[in-house]
A and B are shown apart, each in its own frame.
Chain A
């Protein structure tokens, strides 16, 4: 396979692909005709100033926009070549395979264990739940801090721990892709750093799409960066090229910090 939408995929098939995707809430169009391919086992950052449509685009990939009453998504979103918006596709199954971590750490008001166990439970997991919870917490680098208090309410954790719990919870459902919507913007620098390290470790096994307004963070952790402005995809390519040799003037002004 050759170059697709500005990135070199080589022999890889894209894990996710947006084709001419537009999103509108009522009459307000927030994403306009965006096409991009997301390679498997890579980290792709969606950057842009607030209101540029990056979160709305992200939420197309697991059909979370379906939950917004007057949202309308047009175009195609392909996951391993299958159209996620095909009428026969169950959005719940989509979300099981494409997990999501939100901007505000939102653990359920239940125990730490129950938070991680919820995904497997609703998806009919029949194996060893204790082991799955332990593995998921280990993958999210939280196990050592909570292993002796799994029955405690998740509300007692620090903000950074809550976000790692949300990552563990997402991993336990068994996804192939993780969508992250500004996962560290509510956290202090130390907690943010832990999450960044975690993202770096997770990309071995997961395809990660992360929305961020922190350019340094995008530069540090992502392989590819997509710059959106006013609902349109301005430029998409390998992160180092986007930051060092942007082709579009708008991208250059943004990454050099002249607006946004």
Chain B
């Protein structure tokens, strides 16, 4: 038998053997990475399957139209679903315009100095702050200091603060991706800074901004900790009508149902999770479609 390894001679047979060995190693590595990739998908599939099994029987028409109840068979998600939709709308309205404005300033207007660099670095840091910290801030600022209480507006403001850094970062990235030649071409024609931003930069950055905003809002929709912190209700028998009303949201309802001792409420929680997941995953899918479409056109 011939020994493998470097310097083992120059016969064709050994060259072939070494090559086969390397190919085999390469193959092993490929399989390992494939399993790594499948792992995430498998876990997600198992979770989804388990939840669907538990929750499917509760997913009926009156599950969406009924309010929460002590009796599992009468309980529904009307109040938390409406609360979540309110939060979604208000958070989008408040967080997106401010974040896009901040990103435009940082990319197109801000002077390149240490202050700008400090702001940029801190926005990236803010995006990594745990959501419970935003909850504490919301409690101190909106609920107590501004006296808004545990209302819809407090919740929406808190969630807006939570996702603003994420939207700013996504929008900055989208704006930075606009080719430099487009800006120069526009400036060279006598366009003002605002005209360049409005007519050239923003239209090109829009798909990236929109998909980033959708992903951020979908994250906000699934947040529980900050809402618990600001004192959102978990049992409510009316839908919010105005910004000052108390509210609950889907993740709050899930949290409440899961912590009840009776087994039936676990099924209700699973059903509410299915609704929440459908909402969040369809938002993510929309973001994905917008992003890949714009890539095709570009």
Give Cα distance in the complex from A119 to B200, angstroms.
Answer: 12
B24 within 8 Å of A by Cβ? Answer: no
Given contacts A95-B188, A102-B181, contact A122 B111 (CB under 8 A): no
Give Cα distance in the complex from A175 to B186, angstroms.
Answer: 14
Given contacts A102-B181, A122-B195, contact A108 B190 (CB under 8 A): no
Q: Which residues of B are found within 8 Å of A122, using beta-carbon distances? A: 186, 189-192, 195, 199
Give Cα distance in the complex from A64 to B189, angstroms.
Answer: 11
Give Cα distance in the complex from A234 to B19, angstroms.
Answer: 61
- Report B85 CB to chain A, min CB distance, Å: 36
Let me know if A119 and B184 touch, CB within 8 A.
no
Q: Which residues of A are found within 8 Å of B12, using beta-carbon distances? A: none
Give Cα distance in the complex from A102 to B183, angstroms.
Answer: 12
Q: Which residues of A are found within 8 Å of B206, using beta-carbon distances? A: none
CB closest chain-A residue, reference B113: A69
Let me know if A96 and B181 touch, CB within 8 A.
no
A94-113 contacts to B, CB under 8 A, are 95-97, 99-100, 102, 104, 106-109
Residue picked from B183, B187, B192, B199, most chain A C-beta under 10 Å: B187
- Report B191 CB to chain A, min CB distance, Å: 4
Let me know if A166 and B185 touch, CB within 8 A.
yes
CB closest chain-A residue, reference B188: A100
Given contacts A102-B184, A108-B185, contact A119 B190 (CB under 8 A): yes
Give Cα distance in the complex from A123 to B199, angstroms.
Answer: 13
Give Cα distance in the complex from A118 to B183, angstroms.
Answer: 12
B286 within 8 Å of A by Cβ? Answer: no
Per-residue CB proximity of B254-298 to A under 8 Å, as 1/0? 000000000000000000000000000000000000000000001
Q: Which residues of B are found within 8 Å of A109, using beta-carbon distances? A: 182, 204, 298
- Report A182 CB to chain B, min CB distance, Å: 14
Let me know if A106 and B185 touch, CB within 8 A.
yes
Q: How many interface contacts (CB-CB < 8 Å) are there between A and B? A: 66
B16 within 8 Å of A by Cβ? Answer: no
Chain A interfacial residues counted at CB < 8 A: 27
B179 within 8 Å of A by Cβ? Answer: yes
B70 within 8 Å of A by Cβ? Answer: no
Q: Give which listed residue, A99, A107, A121, contacts B188 with CB less than 8 A.
A: A99
CB closest chain-B residue, reference A179: B188
Q: Which residues of A are found within 8 Å of B192, using beta-carbon distances? A: 92, 122
Q: Give which listed residue, B182, B187, B190, contacts A123 with CB less than 8 A.
A: B190
- Report A53 CB to chain B, min CB distance, Å: 19
B112 within 8 Å of A by Cβ? Answer: yes
Per-residue CB proximity of B205-226 to A under 8 Å, as 1/0? 0000000000000000000000
Let me know if A108 and B186 touch, CB within 8 A.
yes
Q: Which residues of A are found within 8 Å of B188, using beta-carbon distances? A: 62, 64, 95, 99-100, 102, 170
Give Cα distance in the complex from A93 to B188, angstroms.
Answer: 10
Give Cα distance in the complex from A237 to B121, angstroms.
Answer: 52
Give Cα distance in the complex from A106 to B204, angstroms.
Answer: 14
Q: Give which listed residue, B182, B187, B195, contacts A108 with CB less than 8 A.
A: B182
Could you list 12 examples of A-B contacts with CB < 8 Å? A62-B188, A64-B188, A69-B111, A95-B187, A97-B190, A106-B179, A108-B185, A118-B191, A122-B192, A123-B189, A169-B185, A173-B189
Given contacts A106-B181, A122-B199, A173-B190, 5 further A-B contacts (CB under 8 A): A69-B111, A69-B112, A92-B192, A119-B189, A169-B185
